[in-house]
Amino acid sequence: MTPKIASFLDASPATPCLVVDLDRVDANYEALRAALPAAKIYYAVKANPAPQILTLLAAKGACFDAASLPEIEACLKAGAPASAISFGNTVKKATAIAAAYKYGVPLYAFDSIEELEKIAHRAPGAKVYCRIAVANEGADWPLTKKFGTTVERARELMLAAPGLGLVPHGLSFHVGSQQTATPAYELAIAKVAMLFTDLKASGLELKMLNLGGGLPVNYREDVPGLEIFGDAIMDTLIAHFGNDLPEILIEPGRAVVGNAGVVASEVVLVCRRMAADERRWVYLDIGRFGGLAETEGEAIRYRITAGNGATGPVALAGPSCDGVDIMYEKTPYQLPLDLQAGDRVLIHDTGAYVTTYASRNFNGFAPLEEHYL
Ligand SMILES: *Cc1c(COP(=O)(O)O)cnc(C)c1O
């Protein structure tokens, strides 16, 4: 937790709330630039689309990966030029493509002929890039099934693009979010590099490689640092492309904002479900529907702290009347033995994928309050 966040929390704001230190966002962006100087950074807006964050990044000259028309409009409003935006969702409404094209958004992702035809119709002459499905092994929040196509199919689609009046610009992949293993990037780069070579032999020289998101945050378990990922990625790029690197894009979301935020929450109830239970159940005023959606399957395991003193095992659940509103039942969490209703609990590194996952008034609970310092 940063000193700024700590002093804000000293004033006991109403909970639940997310408190984000914008200096940390700034520092993370700089650290990413230093770790991968060859890459252009396209911030994945969905990780946290707060205007304060978009404005800060736009002023620093960042580019943006947007998934929808409202996200594109949020970037424009924050001062980003349309030329700095990539429409990176492979599933887009035709009306959204047309509107983005009118704004001047130059880059569009696809992974099917149907989407490519939609782009050709609504954004004639646009630059397109094809998303390749790659292994997501090592990712705590995988994205494999829903997106991407095979190398063979991508080859056909890229070769078909000029005939549809589009510019076949590059390739992309996503190694899965909270990717903790550098080989995921190495294998993915090797896979797409072969397609670069293959297409070049067919007379099509691609200009861009988009490495997607995935860079991890240190939650409960330690992960390799950004420099380690940066070095592994750079070494692999050089091994495959030599000094003829295409334009490299990277789309970090979690790594830009994750460790910049803390959720402050209040204990609503501490009890034992059965008299003989050693483990207590701790119910917080935030849960799966209040923004902690990534606790599904206990995939993202946040660091959670409360007070001092001797601790014992707990399960953690949210305040709603839904049976799936349980954050952690299997992961061995420990909280103070004297924890009681009304106490403050902090959920650390919650700057990414929390505010926008909060439901609207489920069980009457308001969406999560946000503070940007
Ligand atoms: C979600 C997403 C990202 C960001 O992923 P992180 O794991 O948060 O870095 C990047 N690119 C695309 C296409 C995405 O859908």
Per-residue pLDDT of the chain (373 residues), as tens digits, is: 899 999 999 999 999 999 999 999 999 999 999 999 999 999 999 999 999 999 999 999 999 999 999 999 999 999 999 999 999 999 999 999 999 999 999 999 999 999 999 999 999 999 999 999 999 989 999 887 889 999 999 999 999 999 999 999 999 999 999 999 999 999 999 999 999 999 999 999 999 999 999 999 999 999 999 999 999 999 999 999 999 999 999 999 999 999 999 999 999 999 998 888 889 999 999 999 999 999 999 999 999 999 989 999 999 999 999 999 999 999 999 999 999 999 999 999 999 999 999 999 999 999 999 999 9
Task: Output the pTM of the full model.
Answer: 0.97
- Of all atoms in ligand 1, which is nearest to the CA of residue 353? 8
Active-site residue, from 63, 75, 130, 321: 321
User: Is the N-terminal amide bond of 16 cis, ω within 30° of 0?
Assistant: yes
Domain 259-372 has CATH 1.10.10.10: no
CA distances from 202 to 97, 132, 156, 243, 248 (A): 29, 19, 11, 21, 22
Nearest atom of ligand 1 to the alpha carbon of 141 = 7
Angle 113-122/151-160 helices, nearest 10 degrees? 30
Q: Is the CB of 142 under 6 A from ligand 1?
A: no
d(Cα 292, Cα 123) in Å, to the nearest integer? 37
Q: How far apart are CA 70 and CA 327, in angstroms?
A: 30
Angle 137-349-47 from CA coordinates, rounded to 5°: 65
| Backbone phi, psi, residue 237, to 5° | -60, -45
CATH 2.40.37.10 segments of the chain:
259-372
- Using CA positions, which residue lies closest to atom 5 of ligand 1? 213
In the chain, which residues fall in CATH 3.20.20.10?
A: 49-252
Atom of ligand 1 nearest to the CA of 213: 9
Residue listed under structure tokens 């601790």: 311
Does residue 46 line the site of ligand 1, with CB under 6 A? yes
Annotation marks residue 130 as catalytic? no
Question: How far apart are the CA of 249 and the centre of ligand 1, in A?
Answer: 12
Q: Which fold has domain 49-252?
A: TIM Barrel (3.20.20)
